[in-house]
Every structure is written in structure tokens, then in C-alpha cells.
Structure 1
Amino acid sequence: MRKKTNLSFERSRRESHSPTQLIERNQQQRDRERPRNPRRERSWTSWLPGWQFWTLLFGVGTIGTAITAAALLLTLPTVPNCPRIFWPTASASMRLYCGQLAADKQTVDDILEAIDLVSELPEDHGLRPRINQQIEIWTQELLDLAEASFHEGDFLNAVDTARRIPTEKLSPSAQATIEPVIEQRIEEWKAIWTQAEDLYADIEDHLKNRRWNLAFAAATRLRSVENQHWRVTKHEEITQRVQQARDDVNQLARAKNLANRRTLDHLLEAINLAEQIGLDSFAHASAQEALKEFGRAMLDLADAELAAQNLTEAIGIARRVPASTQLKEEADDFVILARGEFLAWQPSVRNLENAITQAQRIPLESPLYDRAQNRIRQWQTAIDQVAVLERARNTARTGSIADLTTAISQAELISDTTSLYDEAQQEIERWRNQLQTNQDRPILQRAEALARQGNYQQAIAQAQRISSSRALYTEAQDQVNRWQRTISEQRDRPILSQAERQANAGNLDDAIATARRIPSDSALAREAQTAIARWNSAQRDRDLLDQAYRLANGGSAESLESAIRTANGITRYGGQRADADRLIRNLGWELLELAESQAWRSLEGAIAIAERIPSYTEAHAEAQRLIRDWDAQLNPPPPPEPDLQRKFDEGIPIDWDGPVIENSLDE
């Protein structure tokens, strides 16, 4: 290539001319074409001296030669274009050069191409030793690439690369050396990979069974696997999955705890937590099952609201069932059926027909299909029975006994399997009450007429003819009770009045005996018992007051204290409390006077008497003051110790006649 380039340059150089030469050549050509004029020729050459022309010509040639030489020196040889080389005629050095270029790309296919390129040379070629050495280098590079693939986690590619190494193109000695190495390397890879996969499977099994500690321990053993992919990448991956699995299981447990509260807000919050558990989590399957349970719980809430005839709440709950629960289609079908049931709550032929149309929209594959079909059958039967109930209502409108009896008989024909049954039973109950009222009202009116005449016993007997199963029974019993109270008051009021007169006269025992003649079933029994209790209390209080006076007559501190405490036991309901309070006040001061008189003889005795005065007496505060004074007299504080040394040091006069403590003098 270089030779070809030089030849072209030489040719172009020989063909090129300087500007002066071109001018001269053109001028010579024009001169040959024009007629010769010797005179003009002589005049053209006469003005240019000969040595100047040759000097100019020499300078131009020198410059052109220098330029040509520099161009030849600076021109680089052309790099071979390996992809376009015709290899059957290519030299060995060209093959080796292009092979090295391919191998430098450090890919398996390029290195194999390099080996194929140079291995075609004969064994007796002069470059064969160098080529064999290069093939060994490239073979080692292939094995290194296989090792790198193995550590990158591409086990199959690593084995495939090692199998593709063309050991037959090595020298016999090199082939004998490398082939056992390759087989040993592949076996080591297989053993390491199998060990890692088994360990990874154990970790996944621990995760599925929520054995977190064992999973973490097994994940730690991955760090000892002699493979970079398993030791680092897979270890980090499975460690994160173990932690994530544990977090997801805990999160799912929180979701289930929320769902157990069975409120709409808690169920939605539980669903939100379960939805956050990803597809690659070991808890994903459990989360999906939990989502179905949560969705089912929401539908149960909606169904409960529908059963309570709260249509708006039922539909609102069903519409909030998310698609993640896999119950969204069933929830939509529930809304359709709920609207049908709403129409059936107000049974009429038109409403029931519209309800049937709604239920027919439920597809065969829906879980609610059987329920919808049952509703359709019920509503179709109800359509026929609506007419029956309407006829019964029309019959009962007259309110006569005969028509009410007929209406009841007609309504009783409605089956309990239809939605109309409850409404029919309500109508029957209402008509029966109306029928019984019509039948029994005359009886109760006759009883009331007898009571107005004062014939209470006859009125009671008349009203008691109405049995407990009749509509007017409660009203009749209220009247009977009122008349019985009237009879009791008329009979027992004189007795109670007599007892009160006896009590006012001070004959409490007689009053109590008289009041006890009133029977317990009398209307005045409670009033009589209240009066008896009051009189008993008054009798007891009078006895206590008498006892207190007797004790006070003893005059001793003990008897006075006992009298005070006895008087304090008198209640405020018997009329004796005012006398008791006066007695308590007087006895308290009398006891304090006794303590003061005792103080002249014995302070200890005075304190003992004063302490007997109860806290609820008027003299108690004064008694406590005297006790403090007397106690201070009995226990005066010790005199202060004189600081003799300080006074002596400071020159303060010392009163030697005063009390001196020996300890101070000793000091």
C-alpha cells in the first residue's frame, strides 16, 4: 500500500510543473502557432539577462523538491482493513495482527475468531511458535471470561464458554495441560452452584414457614459460598427478602387485628395495609387470602345494613369494596340485587315486577345468582298475594265485626315464605285488636257505669271478664286497680285516721297497734307502714332522751359523757332532736366546768376529763384550748444552755448566780 502511494506521488510529481514553466510552455506554443518575426524575438530576449533566468529556475526547482520530500516523509502507511481482507492470500503477520485486534475486544466470539484466524497456518510455518503461544494466551482469556460469567451469576454461560474453548487448536502439550483444568473448573462451578441453590431453597422454605431466625442463619451461610454472585448479590437480595417478609407478616397481622373489629373504617385500613405487600413477598399469597376475607367482611356489613333496610348504607359499603379483594364484581351484583330488594320492601305489583327485573340482571356465574333466583321466585309469588292482601284491606275498612273477621281470614292465606308475610301479620294483629276492642268495649263501658254509681265490686267483676289475651285487657286492669284502691281507701282510711289521733295524743303504742290493722294489700298499706316507722322512731327517741337525762343525773365525768353520746343517737324525725341538742350543749359545758374544777387539784385529771368532751359539742373547742394550756404547764420547755466560752472570749459579763450546766463548764 505504501509502495502504491509512493508511485502515485512520483507520477504526479513528474507530471506537475511550476508556474514559470507553464507560462513558458504556453508562450512557446503560441510562438509556434504565430508567424515568426525575428525582430520581435530579439526585442523580447534583449531585456532579460540570461543569468537571472537560470537563477529563478533553479530556486523554483529547489523549493518544489523540498516540498515533495516533506510530503513523502509525513505520509503514514495505511492501516489494514481486517474485515475486507481476502484471507486465503493474507500473510501470517496480517492474520496475527488482525487476530490480536479481535482478541483485544475481550469477548468470547471475538477471541474464538482470533484463534480460528491464526490456527489455519501450517505447523511448519515460521511464526507457528509465536502463534501457539498466542493461542494459549487467548485460551486462558476465554477461561477467565468463563470464570467472570460464573461470578456474575451466569452459570450456564460460564459452562458454555468453557466448553467452547478450542483445545484441539493448542499444541499437544498445552492441550494436555488445559483440558483437565477446564473440566475441573466446570465441576467446581457445578458443585458451588448446587450448594448455593440448595442453601437458597432452604432459606425460602424457612420463609414460607415463618422461621425467621433459621432463615437469617441460612442467609449468613451464603457469605461462605465461593461465588461472588451468591456471596454478595444473592446474599443481599435474600437478606432483604427475609427482612421484608418478616415486616410483611407483621403488617399482615396488624391488618387482621384491625379487620377483627368489623367496622368499615377498620376494614378499609386493613385492606390498605394488605395491598402494600408486594408480589415478590413470601407473604403475598397470605395477603391475597386476607384481602378476600376483608372484602367478604365488608359485604357482610353491607348485607347486615340491607337486612336492617338501610339501603343507602348497604350500597355505600358495597361500592367501597376495592378490586384488590377480587370481590368487586360480586359487590356490583350486590348493589343491583339490593335495589331490587328495596323495591320489594314496599310491595305492589309494579314494585315487585321492577324488583324481579333487577334480580334478573345477576349473571349465572355470579356468587349471588342463586340468591337472586330465590328472590325472583318469592317476588313472583308475592305478586299474586299482594292482590289477596289488598282485598283483605278493602274488606276491613268498614270496621264491622263480620268484615274484620273476614279480612283476618283472607290475610292468613298469605304464605310465610313471601316478603309480604310480615306486613300481612301486622295487618292481622291490627285487625284483631280492632275486632277485640269492638267486642269488649261494651263490657268495659258497663263496668265504668257501675263504678260511677259506687258499685265498685260489681264494676270490678264486670271488667275482669276481659281476659289477658284481649286488646282491652291492660285498660281494664288499670280500671280494676283504681277501683280496688278506692275500696281500700274507703275501708282503711278511718283506721289510719284513728291511729294518727292516738299518736298526736302521745299514745304511740296504741297508734302503732291501730295502724297495723290495715292489711298489706290495702291501697293505704304503704302510708300506714311509713306512719308506723315514724312512730317507732319517735318512741325510741323518747326512750333515749329519758335515758340521757337519767345518766346526766349521775354528775360524774363518765355519766355526763355517756349522757351526751346517748342523746346524740336521737334521730331528727321523732320530734325529740331539739331537746336532745339542748341537753348535749348543756352537758358539754357542765363537763368542761368539771374539768376546770379538777385543774386546781390535778392537771392530769383535768386533761382526762376535758378529753371526754365529744367534737360535736359546743364546748369542744374551748376544751381543746385548755388541754393545750394544761399540757404546757406540765411539760415546760427546758431553759437555753449558756454559751460560757463565747461570753468569756468576747468579754461579756457572766451571771454566775444563774443556772449553770455542768457540761458547759466542763467544756
Structure 2
Amino acid sequence: MKRQLHEFQVRTANRLRQRQGRKLVIRVVSNASASATKLRDEDAEQTEAPASAMQPPLTPLRRRNKIWQWWLLWLSIIFGLGGTALAAFFLLATIPPQVNCKNMSPLAPEMDRLTCAQQAAQSGKLEQLVEAMKFVKSLSPDNPVYPEATRLMEDWSRSLLAIARQKIDQGDLKGAIAIARQIPSSSPLYPEVQAAMKQWQGDWRQGEEITKKFLATLKEQKWFEASLQIQALSRLDNRYWDQKQLDKLIDRMSQEKKAWQQLEEAQTFAEAKTPEGYAPAIALAGKVNPNTYVKSKAKAEINLWSQELLKITAEHFEKEEFDRAITAAQLIPPKTSVYKEAQDWIQLSRSYAVAQENKILSFLEAQAALRQISPKSPLRQQARVTEALWQSNLQDRLQMQFAETIASFDQPLAFEFAISQAQAIAPKRPGRIEAQTQIAHWRKQIQQIQDRIALARSKQLATPGTLESLRAAVEEGSRIKLGQPLRIEAQTYIAQWTKAIQTMEDRPILDLAKGLAQQGNLQAAVAAASKIAPGRALYSEAQASLSDWVTQIQIAEDTPILNEANALAANGRLTAAINKASRIRYGRALYREAQGAIARWASEREAILIERQKAAELQQSIEDSSSESQTNSEPEGNY
């Protein structure tokens, strides 16, 4: 109402500027209609004043007064126009009082409420536009502000429809429909809104149906059929479906293809059926996008491969390949059905691997590993049995540790005490084998100490180097029997001493033989040297001299025979020469020389025989020819 009053006063001031000679009286009243009435009354009074000016002239005094009246009139008009201008300027320059929309009373005038609704709707926010629409719905058609409100409602309806379209573009069909339904049927845009909602709902049903078919084909890896659904979606005249959702479906198909390729590559690795093949297979399958259909199949494959790895783990464990069992079990990923059991296998295998060190701390660590196996685990019973075994091993190891500490003094009495401690471990105890092994070792150590003493005594006896001392050393060293620790070392010394003894015993014999040989008595020398038996220290030297002497004897014996054979051959008696030389037997010194001569004589004899045969054949041929000639000449004599 204040705005109407302001507009009315300004329009009135403009009209009065065109009406020269009228007096303007402006009064601020609370009611615009009353103000207008007052103005009309003042205007009527002013119109009467000029009418009196049309009366006939009066007396000079009255005429003078009349002139002054005219001056006063014009001054009044001038001042009135100036005042009007000042008032108009003041009214134009002064902002009308603002409506307090924050504390608006329900009983406030409709114009004020409409003004507040318009101000709120200018923000473009959904809540303010809806409230403005509700206010318009509450107005009756005969309300003075209804025409203006109807005009504003059209603008607000467009704003609401724009917000609804934004919701549609964002994929919020329900939100868009809810906003569009806020537009009343009295709005000029109501038919357009209804058509838009129908279009949205139709596009939505079609888009959802296409998407459903697309996902179904995608789940079965039917890439061509999925591409057809993408093409169908692109033909929808809807920004949300043919742009945003279309891009999503294209990305989804790309993700599914990539995921399927990853799974196929993983399956190729897994065909090796070894930990080295399952490791990259599980890694690749684990990288499959969780938002794809392939992910469920990848999980199933990972579970299957994990079960195979668990079997491999058990096989390695049975073969006591504990490190390989741990490696295989560690390849099983956490989010699998057999992961907990795999962890139990790791603890069990680690327990055995650590216990192999056979140390006190190792058995304690092995027991700690077994306690980490879950009570509900299939391996729990085996873990209990193994833990009891490690406890027995721990007790035996403590017993052996004490025995080994005593044995570390390296004294026969210490070894004897250590042996008694180790013998306390019963036959069926897990440490029995180790105890027996150590007992054998310590007994060997005791024997070695004893042998060392005996060998030292033997060396001491052999120090003088006399025949008697060496024989005593050999006798003492021979007490170290076969199988004792220092047997080989003792036999080495005994061999040296025995060689020295034999040398002392046989040297006089060999020297005697050499002396006889120098005197030319080779037969006596050979007989003397032959007394040195095989295997003795000087046997090789004696045999060398003996061989030389025998050669000299054989040459002396066989040279006359060979000379006689040569003489026979020189006289042409080759056969006799051969027979004579054949008396030199194999192995004697002149055997090869005799055989060479025999071969030469045999060749000469063969040549002589051939010549004789040829001569005989020639003689026979001559005789045959002569006889034939005589036979042919006898008939001629008859004639």
C-alpha cells in the first residue's frame, strides 16, 4: 500500500507540473483515497480564484489592490510550483519504508506478503519458490493483488520447472516430479509441466529397461548385445540417459572387458598348478574391479586356487619341506575361506622348521608358534601332539646341554660323567638318538686320548733309533687296534719303524751279495740276494742288483751257444745253426739276439731251397725236351 501511495503521489505531482496557475496543496494522509479527495477539493477552490479575476474592473484603489493581488497570485503560483518541485524531488529521492519480511505477521496486508514472497522467490531457491506458490494458492481471484500475483506465479513456475529439469539432468526423477507438482493447475505453465512430467516418466521407464537388458548381457559377457543396448540408450532424448548414463554404461562395459581379460590372464597362470603359477594368478584376480560382475567369478577362482595351495602346503609338510610349505601358505590371500587354516599351517610348519635347530630357545619358540593355532582349527589336535613332543625334546635338550657342558672339559673323567648323563635319556625319548650319537662321540674322544698316550709312548721308545728300540716302538704302537681313532696315524708310524728295522736287518745281506758279485762269483751273489723276501724295505734294491747279475750269468752261458750257431751258419749248415740257436730259451738275456739270427738263417735257407727247386725244374724241363726230340727223329730213320 505504501508503494501505491508513493506511485500515486509522484503521478499527481507530474500532472500538476502541466497545470499552470493552479495551487497545489499536498498533505500526507494515511488513506490514499482520502488524500485524493482532499486534492480534488483544493483543486476546486483554486479554480474559483481565476473565475473572480474575470469580473469587471473596479476603482483605482481596487484596481491597485487587484494588481497586488495578481502579483501575490503569481508569487503564490511560483512558490507553489517551487514547493511542488521540492516535494516531488523529496518524494522521488526518499526510499519508501521497507517491509519487515522477517517478522511478517499473518495479519499483514496481502500486498506486503506478496512483496515478501517476491523478494524471497528472487533467490531462486526451491523452498522460497514453493512458499511463494503456496501464498498465491491462498489468494482468491477477487483479491486486489491477485492479478499481480498471477503474473509473478508464471515466473515462479518457470523457475520451479527449471529446477525440476536440473533434477532430471541429475537423475533424480522423484525429486523432479515432486518439484513439478508444486506448480498449481492455475499456473499458465501447468500444461507444459504435465507434458514434461509425462515425457520424463516415459524416458525413465525406457532407460531403466535398456539398462536392465544391458546389465543382463554384460553379466554373460555378451559384448555385442551390450553394444546394441548402448546404441538404443543413445537414441533417447534425455540428457541424463543419453549423456551421463550412456557414459556410465560405456565405462561399465570397458571395465567388464578389462576385468574379464585380467581373469583370463590369471587363469592362464594358474594352469601351471604350482605356487609359482598361483601367485601371479591370485594377484591378477585380486586386482579385478570390485564393481564388475567378473569380480564374483574372480573371488570363486581365488578360493579354488587357495584350496589348491592349501593342498600343496600339506604335501610339502608331509615331505618335511617346511620352508616351501610356509611359502605356499603365505600366497593365500586374507579374504578367502581357507585363509585361517592357511595361517595355522604356517604356524605348524614354522614350529617344525624352528625346532630343527635343536636348541632350547628353538623349542620354546616352536611351542609359542603352536599356541597361536585356533582351538577350532582342524590342525589343533596335531598341534597338541606336536607341542607335547617339543616339550619332551626340550627336556632332553636340557639334559644333553648339561652333559655337553661337562664334556667340554675334554678329560676322560668328564667324558665318562657326560656319558652317564646322556644314558639317562630313555630309549623311547625323542632325544635318544642324539644322546647315543653323543655317547659314541665321547667314547671315541676317550679312546682317542688313550691312543694318543700310547702313540706318544711309542714315539718315545723309537727315539734312540736302535733295532731293539724300534721293535719295542712297533710292539707298543700295535696295541692301537683297528677301528680306534688313531689307528691310521699309528700304522703310519709303525710302517716307518718297520722299514727302518728291515733296512737294518737286510743291509748286511745285500752288501755281502754285492761283494761276491764284484769278485765274479755271480751265482753266490744271486743266492745271497735272493734271501731278501718280497715286501721288505730293501727288496726292490736287491731285485735290481739280482736282475743285473742274472743277466750277466745268462750272457756268459749263452754266448758260446750263439757263437757255435754262427759258425755253423757260416759253413752253410743253416738248419744246424737254427737248431743250435733255439737252445737259448725265452726270457734269457740273449734270447732276442738268437731269435733274430734264427729268422735271418731261416730266410736264407728258404731262398736256397727255392733256387734249388727252380734249378731242378729247369733240369727236368731240359731232359723232357731232349727226350721228345729223340722220339720225333726215330721215324725218319726208318724211311
Please tell me the TM-score bracket, short chain as reference.
0.3 to 0.5
Q: Rg larger in 1 or in 2?
A: 2
TM-score, scaled to structure 1: 0.41
